[in-house]
């Protein structure tokens, strides 16, 4: 073959590859923009309503007494839609693993039921709703566009990122979370561009309509020294233990409910009455709802020493009885209040320790170290990077193979270069 012919063949082959990649990039750019706009729009509406409901509950204490009625309505809704065995966020992960189908009816169900939980004072977060809302809408977009199963799963990931981003205003963490949470040790990089684009579009859409991003003001981070580095390591180890205890408490409570209260209506009524009674005995509403105001106070250095224990209890009763919501914001609450208490006890900045504790517990329950780092930047800024780096590394290592989501797959060992392919422990 002559040199001109060789060069012609080489450039022709190279051009075909460029064209192929360019068409794929265009395809996923358009799909991710569409997903970001649609899911971002629904998530923005969801966030707006959630803020209204939370504000109403905080100014009207009497609404708490209607929590049992809210529980009855929640069970009834899932019964009417013939969706009694809801797996929550686990269903989204199962869809990514191609083990289940994510029906569109999940979207309105989780939308309404999470609002019910929050307005009446159940202890839960919002992100579980966001992931299911985004995943189910993303799945429907994939079906409407007649994508194959592999591509449809990518759109589900896009939907998860978009919903998380719109709700919290943390596009970096949202883009990576959906790629990282499904399988520990393996990132779904095929969905990187679509998730980044859909996450950014959803974040800017929610911001355009007035939804404020989540962030906290922290006292200035000190310079990292050997003493405060060691204190951060100790705090991170304790947060890993707390994350394991939280996971065990959640699923043990669920097992007890299902064993002794088999009727879902009775189960949710008993749980609701318990939450109402505990709230009245404690004389505070700090443990109802997501508790973002308590997190903000903890980051400022103010927390009740036992607040993290009560939030674990309230959340376990709420979620495992059948109320809808999420466990991640409660994990923020638990980590921030525990960290604040730890800092007060040892004489290290309670504000810094609250921020570190929040990130460490989040990493421990989700097994998502990269997302944890990114969300630390978005919530607290980059000044605390050395402390957050230590917290994430230590908590990830010490939390073992426990995880909030039983359908999360531990693909590779946390401790050695070994293939595991097992489910997260509960």
Which residue is it, tokens 């943390």?
170
The DSSP annotation for 46-85 comes to HHHHHHHHHHHHHH-GGGGGGHHHHHHHHHHHHHHTT-TT
Q: What is the predicted pLDDT for the residue at 41? A: 94
- C-beta separation of 135 from 111 below 8 A: no
Q: Model confidence over 185-241: pLDDT tens digits?
A: 888 888 999 999 999 999 999 999 988 888 887 778 999 999 999 999 999 999 999
Residue with tokens 């997903």: 35
Read off φ and ψ for residue 214, nearest 5 degrees. Answer: -85, 125
Residue 9 lies in a domain: no
Domain containing residue 161 = 16-208
Question: Which residue stretches of 209-327 are H helix?
Answer: 226-260, 264-282, 292-299, 307-321
| 10-residue stretch averages of pLDDT, the chain, 426 residues long | 60 75 93 96 93 93 96 92 67 68 80 94 88 89 92 93 93 94 88 96 93 81 94 98 96 93 95 97 94 94 95 96 91 97 96 97 96 95 93 97 89 88 80
Q: DSSP E strands: which ranges in 16-151?
A: none
Question: Is position 214 within any domain?
Answer: no
Which residues, listed in sequence order, are joined to residue 423 by a DSSP beta bridge?
409
CB 132 within 8 A of CB 110: yes
Residue with tokens 């800024």: 381
Q: What is the pLDDT of residue 89?
A: 73
Contacts of residue 337, defined as CB under 8 A and 6 or more positions apart, other chains included, come to 294, 295, 298, 303, 304, 307, 308, 311, 354, 357
Please count the other Cβ atoms lying within 10 Å of the Cβ belonging to residue 402: 20
In this structure, what token pair is assigned to residue 28?
A: 């996923």
Give the pLDDT score at 87. Answer: 62
- Same domain, yes or no, for 176 and 235? no
**Per-residue tokens: 176:** 């990576």
Task: Report the phi/psi class of residue 386: left, alpha or beta, with left for phi > 0 and alpha for psi in -120 to 50.
Answer: alpha
Same domain assignment for residues 202 and 299: no
Q: What is the DSSP string of 364-389?
A: HHH--HHHHHHHHHHHH-STTHHHHH
* Closest to 137 in 3D by CA, of 173, 175, 108: 108
Residue 353 domain-assigned?
yes
Residues 184 and 233 reside in one and the same domain: no
Clarify whether residues 242 and 127 are in a common domain: no
Say whether both 178 and 245 belong to one domain. no
On whether residue 310 sits in a domain, the answer given is yes
Are 271 and 331 part of one and the same domain?
Answer: yes
**pLDDT at res. 21:** 86
Pairing outcome for strands 183-184 and 409-412: parallel
Residue 241's domain is classified under what CATH number?
1.10.3080.10
3-state SS assignment for residue 421: strand
pLDDT for 334? 98
How many domains are there within the chain? 2
Give me 46's structure tokens: 């969801």
* Domain-embedded: residue 213: no
Cα gap 254→263, rounded to integer Å: 13
User: How many secondary structure helices (H) and strands (E) does the chain include?
Assistant: 16, 3
Same structural domain for residues 203 and 233? no
Distance CA 219, CA 229 (A): 17
Claim to verify: residue 191 and residue 293 sit in the same structural domain: no
Determine how many CB atoms are found less than 10 A away from the CB of residue 356.
Answer: 33
Query: Two tokens at 4?
Result: 């001109």
pLDDT at 207: 92
Question: Cβ neighbours of residue 271 under 8 Å, at least 6 residues apart?
Answer: 71, 257, 317, 318, 320, 321, 322, 323
Question: How is residue 222 annotated by DSSP?
Answer: P
Predicted pLDDT at 127: 80
Residue 376: CB atoms within 10 Å: 26
CB proximity list for 424: less than 8 A, separation 6 or greater: 184, 367, 401, 402, 403, 404, 405, 406, 408, 409, 410
CA distance 131 to 107: 10
pTM: 0.93
Residue 235 and residue 195 share a domain = no
Would 238 be classed as within a structural domain? yes
423 secondary structure, DSSP code: E
- The answer to whether residue 176 is domain-embedded is yes
| Same-domain check for residues 187 and 234 | no
Is residue 194 located within the same domain as residue 276?
Answer: no
Can you say whether the dihedral through the CA atoms of 237, 238, 243, 247 is positive or negative?
Answer: positive
Answer yes or no: is 5 within a domain.
no
State whether 165 and 264 are in the same domain: no
- To which H or E segment does residue 36 belong? helix 3-59
């Amino acid at each position: 073959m002559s040199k001109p012919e060789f060069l012609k063949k080489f450039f022709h082959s190279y051009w075909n590859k460029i064209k192929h990649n360019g068409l794929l990039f265009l395809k996923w750019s358009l799909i991710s923009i569409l997903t970001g706009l649609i899911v971002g729009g629904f998530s923005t509406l969801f966030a707006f309503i959630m803020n209204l409901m939370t504000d109403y509950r905080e100014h009207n204490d009497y609404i708490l007494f209607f929590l049992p009625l809210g529980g009855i309505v929640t069970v009834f809704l899932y019964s009417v839609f013939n969706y009694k065995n809801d797996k929550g966020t686990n269903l989204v992960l199962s869809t990514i693993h191609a083990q289940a189908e994510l029906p569109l009816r999940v979207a309105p169900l989780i939308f309404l039921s999470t609002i019910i939980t929050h307005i009446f004072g159940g202890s839960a977060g919002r992100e579980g709703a966001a992931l299911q809302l985004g995943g189910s809408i993303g799945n429907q977009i994939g079906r409407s566009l007649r994508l194959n199963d592999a591509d449809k799963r990518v759109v589900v990931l896009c939907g998860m990122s978009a919903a998380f981003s719109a709700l919290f205003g943390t596009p970096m963490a949202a883009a990576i979370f959906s790629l990282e949470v499904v399988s520990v040790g393996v990132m779904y990089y095929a969905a990187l561009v679509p998730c980044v684009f859909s996450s950014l579009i959803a974040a800017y859409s929610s911001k355009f309509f007035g939804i404020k991003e989540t962030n906290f003001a922290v006292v200035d981070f000190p310079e990292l020294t050997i003493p405060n580095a060691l204190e951060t390591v100790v705090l991170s180890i304790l947060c890993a233990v707390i994350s394991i205890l939280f996971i065990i408490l959640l699923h043990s409570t669920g097992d007890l409910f299902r064993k002794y209260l088999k009727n879902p209506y009775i189960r949710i009524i008993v749980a609701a009455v318990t939450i109402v009674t505990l709230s009245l005995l404690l004389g505070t509403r700090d443990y109802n709802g997501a508790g973002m105001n308590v997190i903000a106070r903890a980051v400022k250095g103010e927390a009740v020493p036992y607040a993290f224990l009560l939030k674990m209890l309230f959340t376990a009763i709420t979620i495992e009885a059948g109320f809808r919501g999420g466990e991640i914001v409660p994990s923020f609450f638990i980590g921030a209040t525990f960290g604040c208490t730890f800092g007060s006890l040892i004489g290290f900045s309670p504000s810094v320790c609250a921020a570190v504790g929040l990130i460490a517990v989040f990493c421990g329950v989700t097994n998502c170290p990269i997302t944890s780092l990114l969300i630390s930047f978005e919530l607290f800024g980059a000044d605390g990077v050395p402390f957050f780096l230590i917290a994430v590394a230590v908590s990830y290592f010490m939390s073992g193979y426990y995880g909030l989501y039983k359908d999360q797959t531990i693909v590779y060992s946390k401790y050695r270069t070994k293939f595991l392919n097992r489910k997260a422990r509960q």
